[in-house]
A and B are shown apart, each in its own frame.
Chain A
Amino acid sequence: MPARRGFRWDQGNSRLEVQVDGTIAARFDDTGAYLTVPAGGITVTAGDLTVTAGDAHVVAENLYMGAETAFASTEPTSAVVFKTGTAPAGAIVTSSAVFANDTVLRKIIADGTVSSVG
């Protein structure tokens, strides 16, 4: 029998499943999170992922800025991980920012002062 492809109504849980070759790729619901992706993740290949209301939560694992790489011993959790980036310069009025390269973590504040952190 060919693996299922398409939508399936999950009567017991009142949610709509999307199945691809028998694997549940997504679930739609009308309570809590309206869309759940149980595995595999979501990739945006163009455009932005935008939150216009509510918050962006990273409940477990980490927030990565830039492409991930290997960490020698212990993978952190609840951390912001910076790939070596481009340093900001100039005023960043009413905002501030942090960035990193391979040797320093730096911050920039509204008046344009850049300083090393730690």
Chain B
Amino acid sequence: MLETLLLTGQIPEIHWEHGDDLCDCTFQRIGYWTNPYLARTLKIRLCCAWKVLAEQNPEIAALMQEIPAYDDHNGKRWVSEPAAWNAKDHDMPRALWHRQLSIQQDKPLEQVRREYDHLEPPRRVRHGNTAKV
């Protein structure tokens, strides 16, 4: 049964996960529901799905906001400049780096992927004003 599902493509070979860079949307959020007693899983690449729906239907577009700034909840302000990578315990994910470059340079994501594929993303910072969590 499982082999049949694999052969017929009903069980995908590629496992979707956040940050997999398998689509061009900004956040790559994947809606995900699964249950062992039903043996069923539903996945939706949410921001891509919303974009398609919005393009097809102005009423849905009117219910979406795409804002070119970071919502600094603590400072109660918008920040329009992408922040430099400052994590101490891991490097910047490549998919995130490519999206940051795309925004900073106002280039299509596909172009950034080609131009920066041979380069490595920013490394973790050794010293910095990082807070304990």
Contacts and interface: CB of A to CB of B under 8 A. Distances in A.
Given A71-B131, A74-B74, 15 more contacts: A62-B133, A68-B133, A70-B87, A71-B130, A71-B133, A72-B87, A72-B130, A75-B133, A103-B17, A103-B18, A104-B32, A111-B37, A113-B34, A113-B35, A116-B32
A81 B131 CA distance: 13
Given A75-B132, A103-B19, A70 B88 contact: yes
B69 to A, nearest CB: 16
A81 B128 CA distance: 21
B133 A116 contact: no
Contact of B36 (A62, A69, A90): A90
7 contacts: A71-B133, A72-B85, A103-B19, A104-B18, A113-B33, A113-B35, A115-B34
Contacts of B19: 103
Interface in A51-108: 62, 64, 68-76, 81, 89-91, 103-104, 106
A114 B33 contact: yes
A118 interface: yes
A112 interface: yes
Contact of B86 (A68, A72, A114): A72
B37 A112 contact: yes
A48 to B, nearest CB: 24
B30 interface: yes
Interface residues of B, number: 24
Residue with the greatest number of chain B CB neighbours at <10 A, chosen from A71, A72, A76, A113 = A72
Interface of A: 62, 64, 68-76, 81, 89-91, 103-104, 106, 111-116, 118
B15 to A, nearest CB: 12
Contacts of A75: 131-133
Contacts of B36: 89-90, 112
Contacts of B85: 72
B18 to A, nearest CB: 4
A27 B131 CA distance: 30
Contact of A70 (B31, B33, B83, B133): B133
Contacts of A74: 74, 131
A111 B74 contact: no
A72 B88 contact: yes
Given A69-B89, A103-B17, A103-B18, A114 B34 contact: yes
